[in-house]
Amino acid sequence: MTTDLPTTEEEWRIRLSPAEFRVLREAGTEAPWSGEYVSTKTAGVYDCRACGAQLYPSDTKFDSHCGWPSFDDAIPGAVTEIEDHSHGMVRTEIRCARCDSHLGHVFRGEGFTSKNTRHCVNSLSIRLTPAG
Ligand SMILES: [Zn+2]
């Protein structure tokens, strides 16, 4: 895990690729089905790609068929939720609690899993650390 976090957006821009910067620091959204983790089943933990904080155990990942990696729960305290009024909709944005980088949005009441929650996360926002 990275211990020294950037304090300015310019420092983030140097650390991240242009595509990662656009999603993580400018709340961009990668195109559906384009991300490297959409269909991944590998066991492990998904970390924040910006700061390395652990966010989602792989056993919370499920097939939502929405085109982005989907998780029905996060590690307690790892993710913060913010009401998002962009694009004429009211949604709930999710960010890394450690570095405040954008992850995606959370939706509830869709009935995908028993937890009834879908964290819809950009692959560019996370990095899988395989188990073992
Ligand atoms: Zn982070």
Give yes or no: 120 in active site.
yes
65 vs 103: CA distance, rounded Å: 18
Tell me the Ramachandran region of residue 64: left when phi exceeds 0, alpha when psi lies from -120 to 50, beta otherwise.
Answer: alpha
pLDDT for 4: 84
What is the whole-number distance in angstroms between the Cα of residue 8 and the centre of ligand 1? 14
**What digits encode the pLDDT tens for the residues 51-76?**
999 999 999 999 999 999 999 999 99
Which one of 48, 51, 99, 120 is the catalytic residue?
120
What is the whole-number distance in angstroms between the Cα of residue 92 and the centre of ligand 1? 18
**What digits encode the pLDDT tens for the residues 14-57?**
999 999 999 999 999 999 999 999 999 999 999 999 999 999 99
Q: Look up the pTM and report it.
A: 0.94
Judged by average pLDDT, the poorest of 1-15, 35-49, 113-127 is 1-15
